[in-house]
Amino acid sequence: MKNVLITGASRGIGAECARLFAEKGYNVLINYNRSEEAAEGLCRELTDRGLSAVCIKADVSDPAQVRDMFARINEHCPGIDILINNAGIAQTKLFTDITDQDWDRMIAVNLSSVFYCCREALRHMINAKWGRIINISSMWGQVGGSCEVHYSAAKAGIIGLTKALAMEEGLSGITVNCIAPGVIKTDMLSCYSEDDLNALREETPVGKLGTPEDIAKAALFFADEGASFITGQVIGVNGGFVV
Task: Give the H or E element holding residue 179.
Answer: strand 174-181
Site string for ligand NAP, 6-35 (x = CB under 6 A): -xx-xxxxx----------------xxxxx
Q: From CA 190, how far away is CA 140, in angstroms rounded?
A: 18
In the bound state with ligand NAP, the residue whose beta carbon lies nearer, of 3 and 113, is 113
Is the Cβ of residue 138 or residue 177 nearer to ligand NAP in the bound state?
138
Q: At what angle do helices 113-128 and 149-169 cross, to 10 degrees?
A: 10
Burial 67-76 (b: 16+ CB within 10 A, else e): eebbeebeee
DSSP assignment, residue 191? Answer: T
Which of 27, 112, 138, 152 forms a contact with ligand NAP (CB under 6 A)? Answer: 138
* Interaction pattern, residues 150-189, with ligand NAP; x per rule: CB under 6 A: -------------------------------x-xx-xxxx
Q: Is the dihedral of CA 112, 230, 26, 3 positive or negative?
A: negative
**Cβ 139 to ligand NAP shortest distance, Å:** 7
User: Residue 145 or 232: which CB sits closer to ligand NAP?
Assistant: 145
For residue 162, count other CB atoms closer than 10 A to its CB. Answer: 24
Q: CB nearer to ligand NAP: give 127 or 146.
A: 146
68 binds ligand NAP (CB under 6 A): no
Distance of alpha carbon 117 from alpha carbon 83, whole angstroms? 8
Catalytic residue at 32?
no
Is 231 near ligand NAP (CB under 6 A)? no
Q: Which sequence positions are flagged as catalytic?
A: 151
